[in-house]
Every structure is written in structure tokens, then in C-alpha cells.
Structure 1
Amino acid sequence: MNFAPLSRFIDHIAAWRIPWAEVVVMHRNETVFRYRAGYADLEANTPIDEDKIIYLYSLTKIMTCTAALQLVEKGEILLGDPLSDYLPEFAETAVRKQQKDDGSRTGLPERPITVRDLFTMTAGFSYDLDSPSIREAAERTEGRLPTREFARALAKEPLLFEPGTRWNYSLCHDVLAALVEVVDGRRFSTYVREEITEPLGMPDTGFFLSEAQHSRLVPQYEFNDELGKAVRMDGDWYRIGTEFESGGAGLLSTVRDYALFLNTLTNRGTSPEGVRILSAASVDLMRTDHLNGHTRGDYNWAHHAGYGYGLGVRTHISKADSGSLSPLGEFGWSGAAGSYAIMDPESQLTVMYAQHLVNNQEPYVHPRLRNMVYSCLS
């Protein structure tokens, strides 16, 4: 293994417009490469170092889908169940319907939202965190907006399309977190801690930070093209309530912690120490392509060419279309500030890449990073 090209790439992007970058490569449960470059705090010229805490944003989705799949394994939910069996407010959720005069009206959907729709982003939701019903719920709860109240509020907003007929990146996994709460009875954060992060030894992963942990939270940046530099942009715009535990974007973690979780999924649900969070069958279901003739055309992000969409993850389905050096079945996701996960059971490879830049350069960085990792392993 020769990771010199990957080191040079990390140096390059850290000198380009990304304040800092870090990558961990695990192969057959061993960390074979870890490298970081750049400054955690540009103003203070503080180099990035060990155990800094970052916003995972949408890398949270992998954890949320894992938690919900645990309930599938326990027989407490089925993918085909109507969502309203558990969250009754969604029995009355309307859908926008087109009329011949190009206007629109609303009515009840032709079929209900299912649990599967939450996993696969086909429920018909938007990603509008500032919708009238959500704003009203935040005001009514005096800024707390617990996860369950968030779901009740979202149910008042009309769906963009008939459930199951389109794919749309949306608030599906935030509702999935509320489903876990209702079915299990614990707060979502408590469930995640007791069933996943504590058993795996991930003390720095959660929805809220202690005072000591907060001191390790690194600044967040946005690259300003006019100024030609990254400018500080602290804050979490997905934290719309003090008690809102966003299943889609709410987790904070370290590179070390989240690599442990990702590597457990690479091992098809069981950690090297023997801690099982999912069965191999569930991991294989997660990384199965769930797109169909109705939804495939909507999953059209250029840097995801050659990938399908599983239960909360991209999954590699065509090397010819992707140009990726990874094998079919490699899966993962990414986060709004640029973090990126690769899980590959066939190669026994796990990659956790992290940065903290909200205009994240994902289409440039991620495909190159992925191909370089595989070339360095050869």
C-alpha cells in the first residue's frame, strides 16, 4: 500500500479552498492510513488535530436508518406498513394534485406513506425547515420543538407528490427518527446512545455536547469567492429547536468515533470486538438499490452517476456509469459540510473523510478521494 498520492491530494485541497481535511482508511479492521492537513481555526492558525468534534449533518442519516432497521429486525415495524399506523397524523396528510389549467389543489394521496418511503426518500416531503407549520410548532413549544412535535407539524404540510412515485431528498429521515421514538418509547437520542454509540465505544457522538466537548467543536467555514478565502460561519442551521433531534442532520462526532460505526457496517453489522448492531441481512438490504422506474430519474446528481439509492445510502450499481474504482455494492453517504463515508464489505474497506466547509466542493473532492483510496490499496 502506498498512500503518498492520497496525502498529496489532502495537502492540495487544504491549500486550495478547504480550511482543513482529514481522512481515515481502515482495511480488514486495521487503520492503515490517517492523514490531516490544514487549520481548524484559520484566524488563530490552529492546526487540525486529534479528537476535534464536527457537525456530521447528513452523515447522521446512516445512523438513523441503522436505528430504524433495528426495529425492523425486532419485528416492531415492517417496511410496507403505513406510516399512520404509528404516527396517526399522517393519515390526514394531503398531497398536491395538478389540474388541467396548470393550477394545483390538494387531496388525500392515492396510497398512504409507508415506512419504506421514509427510508428511500419517496414520501413526498420537501426539505423546507421554514414551512409555516414548522415555524408555528417552534413558537408554540417556545423554541423546544421536540422531534415528535416536528413530525406532527410536518404532517400538516401538503406532500409534493404521490408517495412512492418520485425520489426527493427531503425530511424523510427526520420523520424516521420520530417513528423510532414512538415505537420504542425512548427519546431518539437516548435510543441511539443506548443501542448503538455506547455499545460501540463512541463517547463523542451525539445530538448535544457537554461543556468539555463544546471546547473541541471546530469552527465552520464558507468559502467566499469575492474575498478569495474561507470565512467563518459557525452555527447549525438544522438545529431548529433546542429539543429537536434531527435524524437527518443532527449528530456531532469525531473522525475516530464515526469511523468505528462505519466500520461496523462494513463488517455487515458486527464490530471487530463482536458488538452486533445489525444483522448481515439488514446491512445487505440497506445497500440494495431500492430505486425503480418511477424514481430512478430523480436520483440524478452527477457525482452519484452509477449509484442507486438504498435505505438511506448511495450504493454502487454500475462501474461503467460511475467510473469508480470501487466494487459494486460499495455504499455510504456524505454531509453538508463535506464529510464523506465509504463502506465496502467486499474489500473490507472503510473510509471516513472529514472537513468543515459548507460550500463543500463535494462533486470535486469525493469521487477523486474514492478512486485514490482504491488505487493506493492496490
Structure 2
Amino acid sequence: MDFSRLKIFMNEMAKSRTPGNAIEIYKDGQKIFEYASGYSDLENNVHLNGDELYFIYSCSKIATAVAGMQLIENGKILVSDPLYDYIPEFRHMMVQCSDNTLKKAEKPITIGDLFSMTSGFSYDCKEAVDKAKKINNDIADTHNVIRCLAETPLNFEPGTRWMYGLSHDILAEVIAVVSGKKFSEYMQKNIFIPLEMKDTTYHCDKSVAERMAEQYVFETNSANTFDIVKAQQYGNSMVGKFIKKEKTNSLVYSEEYDSGGAGIITNVSDYAKLAAALANSGVGINGERILQEKTVDLMKTNRLNRKQMKDFNWKQLKGYGYGFGVRTMMDRAAGGSLSSIGEFGWGGAAGASVWVDTTLNLGIFYVQHCLNPREEYYQPRLRNIIYSCI
């Protein structure tokens, strides 16, 4: 194995697309590569040391899906169960029609719809958050936000289309209801502690913020992908600049909101352990099992039909379907992918990405802290470079 070209690519990224990045790769339960490039604080010339914490945004969905699969294993939920069995407020849903009128939903949202993002919910939840604040002393807590969300009309009949949105935040509340614990407490007990993910949390207190890499947004003066490619290859800083942002996550609506879709704060070492466990058929590098092998196989099974696949059309997802909270490789030729059929994972708004390959027992976690990361550029390239190195 020779990872020299991966180092070159990450160094180029750290010059032109993100102030810094880090990666860990596991194969057969053993760490085979780790690397960090660039800065955790660009303005003050503070280099990454590999232990920084990050908001990983939607990469959190993978862990939430694992928790949901645990409940399936234990017979606590079925994908065919109506959501209202667990949260009654979702019994009488309305659907927004094309002429802006409302009609009663013909069928209920199911647990399976939450896993596969076919519930009809988008990320529009401002009204629900505002209502929850009025209920609970200006605090948008998970319990009230999710139940207020049930008053929001669906964008389509449940199960008919695919739409990226709050489905996994709702799934997190189902996990809380079924387990009788706060979602974050369930995750600690059943995933993070068993895998020895000691630096992973949902809450950004002062001690966490102090360890966090500075967060940036990449502002570009060009929408042309070729310009971004040139910047990547030649370090042309004229196509954009890094703007430092506050260490906040806009998808976590209060300190009392456990976001199953985007709430995790972690470091490269911790989340790579989760990727390694999934690659090893559910067994962590410390020997602890979090899922059965058959459950991991089910998790990466495509759930979308032909009509839903038309909605699942992001450029970086060519060749992929969508399973239980994860993209899953179905057609290597369509996306020019060097990964295996069944490779699965997801990414996050600031550039974090997971790849899991049970065929090769390969678990990969890449992280950066720069919003507007242009996933369509870096994700397919990074994936292929990694596979070419192994």
C-alpha cells in the first residue's frame, strides 16, 4: 500500500478548499493510515494535531441509523410500523398539493420512511422550532420540536418520493421513546461507550468548544466546477476565500435538542472507530459488537424504487442508491467508482465523509471543518484515490 497520492491530494485540498483536513483508514480492524494536513486555526497559524473536535453535521446520520438498526435487531421496531405508534401526534398528517391546497395523507409515515428519507419532510422546521420555544420557556427541546413538526404539511404522500430532510431527527426521537432514554444517552450507552468513542458528544459546552477546530465557510466567486478544479490543482486562491464562522451548528436548535440528523461532535479517531466496526460486520476494533453481520448487510441494502431514485440525483451520488440512512454503491460504472458494490456511508455539511466497505473490511473517516465543501468535486475523487492506494 502506498498512500503518497492521498497525501498529495489532501495537501492540495488544505491549500485551496479547506484550511485543514484529517483522515483515518482501517482495514481488517487495523489502522493502516492516518494523516492530517493544514490548519485548525488559519489566522493564527495553528496546525492540526489530529485530535481536534468537529461538527460532522449529516455524518451523524450514520450513527443514528445504527441505533435504529439495533432496535430492529431487538424486535423493538419494524420498518412497517406507523410512526404514530410511537409518536401519536403524527397520526393525522396533511400533504401539500401542487396548487398549494392541503389534503389528508392517504397512508401513514412508517419507520421505514424515516430510515430512507421518504417521509415527506424537508429541512423546513422554523415554525415547529418557534412553537416549541413558546411551549418550553424559549427552549427548542427535542420532544417539543418533533411533536410540533407533526403540524407541518408533508411535501408528498409518505413513501412515494425521496427528500433530504428531518427524517432522522424524527427517528432519533423514536429511539428515545422506545428506549426510555434521551437520544444522546442511548447513543452513549449503546454505541459510543462500547466502541470507546470517548470524545464523541452531542453537546458543545465550553470544554468541547475549546478543543474544536475553527469552523470556516468557503466563499467562492465562481460557480464553475472547472475553476474549483484549477484551484485544487494549482492553488489558485482567486476563486474563493475562507471566512471564519462561530463554533455553532445551525441544525441544533438548542442545548436541549438532540439532533439525530446532524448533531454529533467528534474527532477523526473516534468516528473512524464506528466506520471500522461497520466494515468489520458490526464488531469494533476492541472486539465489542454493536450490530450483527446480517443487520449491517440490511443497512446497506437499497430501499429506493425507480421513481424515488430520480429524486436521489446529487452529482456525488452517481452509482449509489439509498439504504437505511446511508448511500450504497449499486453501479460502479455509473459513477466511475473504484469502491466495491455495497460500499456505503454518508457526508456532512462541513466536509466530513464516511466510506464503509464490508467486502474489503475497509472503514474510512475523512474530516474537515469548512462549509460549502463542494462534495461533487472532492468526494468521488477522494474515494477513488483512497481505493487506488490500497
Q: String of CA shifts for 1:222-276, please: whole Å, max 9, x gaps.
A: 1233584201012211121220000000110010000001111111111132211
Q: Which amino acid aligns with 2:197?
A: M
- Extract unaligned runs of 5+ from structure 1: none
Instruction: Specify which of 143, 159, 162 is matched with residue 164 of structure 1.
Output: 159
Question: In 2, are the aligned partners of 1:267 and 1:345 still within 8 Å (CA)?
Answer: yes
Instruction: Specify which of 112, 124, 127 is matched with residue 128 of structure 1.
Output: 124
Question: In 2, are the aligned partners of 1:148 and 1:181 still within 8 Å (CA)?
Answer: no
Question: In 2, are the aligned partners of 1:143 and 1:241 still within 8 Å (CA)?
Answer: no
Identity %: 42
Partner of 1:113: 109
Instruction: Specify which of 192, 204, 229 is matched with residue 241 of structure 2.
Output: 229
Partner of 2:195: 200
Distance between the aligned counterparts of 1:148 and 1:342, measured in 2? 32
Distance between the aligned counterparts of 1:202 and 1:320, measured in 2? 36
Question: In 2, are the aligned partners of 1:25 and 1:33 still within 8 Å (CA)?
Answer: yes
Partner of 1:8: 8
Partner of 2:101: helix, strand, or coil? strand
Partner of 1:79: 79
Q: String of CA shifts for 1:30-56, please: whole Å, max 9, x gaps.
A: 211111111110111100112100001
Partner of 1:199: helix, strand, or coil? coil
1:293 pairs with 2:289: no
Partner of 2:40: helix, strand, or coil? strand
Q: Which amino acid aligns with 2:28?
A: R
Question: In 2, are the aligned partners of 1:120 and 1:312 still within 8 Å (CA)?
Answer: yes
Partner of 2:350: helix, strand, or coil? coil
Partner of 1:373: 386
Distance between the aligned counterparts of 1:255 and 1:3, measured in 2? 18
Partner of 1:189: helix, strand, or coil? helix
CA drift at 1:179: 0.4
Question: In 2, are the aligned partners of 1:6 and 1:376 still within 8 Å (CA)?
Answer: yes
CA drift at 1:209: 3.8
Q: Any residues of structure 2 matched to 1:1-378 within 5 Å, and which? A: 1-98=1-98, 103-130=99-126, 132-225=127-220, 228-234=240-246, 235-377=248-390
Question: In 2, are the aligned partners of 1:25 and 1:34 still within 8 Å (CA)?
Answer: yes
Q: TM-score, normalised by structure 1?
A: 0.96
Q: Which amino acid aligns with 2:108?
A: P
Partner of 1:104: helix, strand, or coil? coil
Partner of 1:5: helix, strand, or coil? helix
Question: In 2, are the aligned partners of 1:181 and 1:187 still within 8 Å (CA)?
Answer: yes
Partner of 1:375: helix, strand, or coil? helix
CA drift at 1:90: 0.3
Q: Which amino acid aligns with 2:256?
A: E
Q: CA RMSD in A?
A: 1.3
For residues 97 and 361 of structure 1, do their structure 2 counterparts lie closer, same or farther at Cα, with a shift above 3 Å needed? closer
Name the stretch that deviates more: 105-114 or 159-168: 105-114
For residues 146 and 45 of structure 1, do their structure 2 counterparts lie closer, same or farther at Cα, with a shift above 3 Å needed? same
Partner of 1:231: helix, strand, or coil? strand
Count of paired positions: 372
For residues 224 and 209 of structure 1, do their structure 2 counterparts lie closer, same or farther at Cα, with a shift above 3 Å needed? closer
Distance between the aligned counterparts of 1:213 and 1:125, measured in 2? 31
Question: In 2, are the aligned partners of 1:138 and 1:241 still within 8 Å (CA)?
Answer: no
Q: TM-score, normalised by structure 2?
A: 0.93
- Extract unaligned runs of 5+ from structure 2: 222-237
